Amino acid sequence: MPRVPEPDQTENGPAYEGRLLDRPEEEVVDQGASFDIRTLFSRRGVLGLVAAGVGTVALTACGVGSASSSTSSSSGSSVTEIPDETAGPYPGDGSNGPDILEQSGIIRSDIRSNIDGSSTVDGAPLTFTLKVTDMANDNAPFEGAAVYAWHCDSQGRYSMYSEGVEDATWLRGVQIADENGEVTFTSIFPGCYAGRWTHIHFEVYPDVDSITDAENAIATSQLALPEDACTAVFALEAYSGSAENLASISLADDNVFGDDGGVNQLATISGDAGSGYVASLGVPVDTTTEPTGGAAPGGQGGGTPPEGGTPPEGGAPPDGAPTQQ
């Protein structure tokens, strides 16, 4: 009879091959398809889990490799839940310092300026749409869901946190999903700071009344932008330093998208750097599973904005320099 692998006990909880268990109360072989796939493709985990009896279902289950996820079938096709990710150190949702979700005017589609309409940021135009679907309801459009989106500016700064823009509220906003489950934001293309692939953060809430407490989020994830669009945009003067930072990172190396190369988080995009881009991403959400993302991490340093700077320590608010989140 194959030996069932035993987890290692770490200060953060039980782990196997260095990966925290998605379901700490269950055995290693009962962690679910996402955990199995990530472990099976690690250098040391392949033989261990195969010998323990992990079936081929886990190997073929939609190819996801981020934090816990689930799959369902809709109209005969497989649907993968949007991977849960960290909200990063600069969410502005009250979980790590300032809370923009309590402010009047946060429900808006154009997020290029501060909430009061002042101080519009510069950058290549970007309109992005997130289509939220309810996996527990045959992947139907999640009408009424509230989506909070935020990202850095062309120089890698986050409003409300980075040095010199602590009082700014640009590039943050909430939209309510329409009958198609869609929310659309008018923004700019984010810059690329050292250590992270170009991305947009977002949280999904069941309804607009839930946004005042970050713990109500039913999904927290990040959208990755395609390399060809990034390359074109980062040739613009406003994005000084981003091209060099992009050249030093890949989706496979990124500490968020690297588990599966961002296969379920890479936006579809059209347009050009001059007239702007239109991006879209499907966001299936499984309300029957416990969210594992969110929460501002501690001790996550290492990233700097395009123009340099010193990263903060221990997840503290930045002195003008984002960490790798």
Residue 208 domain-assigned (yes or no): yes
| Residue with tokens 């045959």, as numbered in its chain | 138
Q: DSSP assignment, residue 142?
A: -
pLDDT band at 290; cut points 50, 70, 90: confident
> Which alpha helices (DSSP H) does the chain contain, by range?
33-40, 45-51, 56-60, 227-233, 242-247
Bridge-partner residues for 188, per DSSP? 125
Residue pLDDT, tens place only, 34-73? 444 444 333 333 333 333 333 333 323 333 334 455 676 5
In a shared domain, residues 155 and 216? yes
Instruction: Determine the number of helices (DSSP H) and then strands (DSSP E) in the chain.
Output: 5, 14
The single-letter code of the amino acid at 215 is E
| Closest by CA position to 242, among listed 256, 253, 250, 231 | 231
Residue 263 domain-assigned (yes or no): yes
Residue 95 domain-assigned (yes or no): no
| Closest by CA position to 68, among listed 214, 222, 219 | 219
Q: Percent of the chain at pLDDT above 90?
A: 64
In a shared domain, residues 128 and 186? yes
In a shared domain, residues 54 and 130? no
Q: Which of 11-25, 91-105, 111-125, 224-238 is the least confident region?
A: 11-25
In a shared domain, residues 56 and 104? no
In a shared domain, residues 116 and 57? no
Q: Percent of the chain at pLDDT above 70?
A: 69
In a shared domain, residues 109 and 46? no
Question: C-alpha distances in angstroms, 293 versus 82, 123, 227, 308?
Answer: 11, 29, 25, 29
Host domain of residue 173:
100-285
Bridge-partner residues for 285, per DSSP? 134
Distance CA 221, CA 206 (A): 15
Distance CA 116, CA 93 (A): 18
Contacts of 61 (CB under 8 A, 6+ apart): 33, 34, 37, 71, 78
Q: ∠ CA(113), CA(155), CA(66), 5° rounding? A: 95
Residue 305 domain-assigned (yes or no): no
Edge-to-edge order in the sheet of strand 199-205: 172-176, 146-150, 199-205, 219-224
CATH value at residue 123? 2.60.130.10
Task: Give the residue, 242 or 31, on which the prediction is more confident.
Answer: 242
CA atoms within a 13 Å half-sphere pointing along the CA-CB vector of 217: 27
Q: How many domains does the chain have?
A: 2
Beta strands at 276-285 and 125-134: parallel, antiparallel or unpaired: parallel
In a shared domain, residues 109 and 17? no
Residue 323 domain-assigned (yes or no): no
In a shared domain, residues 47 and 125? no
How much is the average pLDDT of 189-209?
Answer: 97
